[in-house]
Amino acid sequence: MTEQHYPLHWKKKNFSIKIFCSIPNIATGILLTAGDSHFVIDPGDGILRDLNKEIGVKKLLDISDVFVTHGHHDHVGGVWSLLTYLRVMQKKSPLTIHYPDGCVEIESIYNAFKKVYSRSITYKINLKTIKKTIGFTTNNITVKPFPVIHKEYLSTGKTRQVPAYGYNFVFNGMTICYGGDTAYCEEIVVHARNADLAILEAGHDKETPDDMHMTMKEAVSIGKSAKKYFLVHVPE
């Protein structure tokens, strides 16, 4: 098994991405930089500490968009502290959170935040649900969401599909593909192909494929179709 040494960093011209960490069931945290703009992807626990250290308060306050792949706690655990911190530090510019339609975790956190701090929120929060594979441009990057297969266990022992999307981020002709948590599926295969960087999870610790995470073998096979790839979410 490949050992991961976080942070993982990729940069090409003025497009870069830093994965502070990506450990299944613990936390994920990613900073995307396109030109002068910063974006956050999957703000898991610890994101505030990592962002503060990386870009400092001033740039943190300028962050315009957050992209969430799905609502599992290891991908959204830092949202509450991020929203609260931005309020305490008096953020003025709006913040848009992009998340899969049906992701109740984001809506619950947002509703609780609005309720608790109704009289002291200094910035506007836009919630934008991803419903389909329709590309859009925000700030200076183009975003192409794609649905992925990612299931979770119910208390009955059965499984259900989680609202989950991966994203391709395009800037100045360069593409970064991030699948989030996903089993092996056609969508991730297609979107990772020829990407300048593909960030692929290899969260399944057994050889037999399942419908929650990819095996190391599956992730590597997709990674080879991209110009470069990182394997993340590898169980420690």
Binding region for Zn ion (CB under 5 A): 24, 72, 74, 181
The CA R_g of the chain, rounded to the nearest whole Å, is 17
Query: Residue 50 Cβ, how far from Zn ion at the closest point, in Å?
Result: 17
**Contacts for 192 with CB less than 8 Å, ≥ 6 apart:** 177, 179, 198, 200, 222, 223, 225, 226, 229
Cis peptide before 145 (omega within 30 of 0): no
Q: Is 75 left (phi over 0), alpha (psi -120 to 50) or beta?
A: alpha
**Calpha distance 177→13 (Å, rounded):** 17
Query: Residue 117 Cβ, how far from Zn ion at the closest point, in Å?
Result: 28
* Closest to Zn ion by CB, 23 or 60: 23
Query: Residue 31 Cβ, how far from Zn ion at the closest point, in Å?
Result: 18
* Closest to Zn ion by CB, 18 or 213: 213
Query: Residue 94 Cβ, how far from Zn ion at the closest point, in Å?
Result: 28
Q: What is the DSSP letter of 220?
A: H
Query: Residue 28 Cβ, how far from Zn ion at the closest point, in Å?
Result: 6
* Closest to Zn ion by CB, 148 or 192: 148
**Contacts for 122 with CB less than 8 Å, ≥ 6 apart:** 86, 87, 90, 91, 92
**Calpha distance 67→117 (Å, rounded):** 23
- Where are the strands (E) in the chain, listed by range? 8-12, 15-23, 27-34, 37-41, 65-67, 95-100, 125-130, 136-138, 141-147, 151-153, 159-161, 165-171, 174-178, 197-201, 229-232
* Closest to Zn ion by CB, 34 or 200: 200
* Closest to Zn ion by CB, 24 or 29: 24
* Of the candidates 91, 36, 44, 90, the residue with the CA atom closest to the CA atom of residue 67: 44
Query: Residue 17 Cβ, how far from Zn ion at the closest point, in Å?
Result: 17
Query: Residue 233 Cβ, how far from Zn ion at the closest point, in Å?
Result: 6
* Closest to Zn ion by CB, 24 or 163: 24
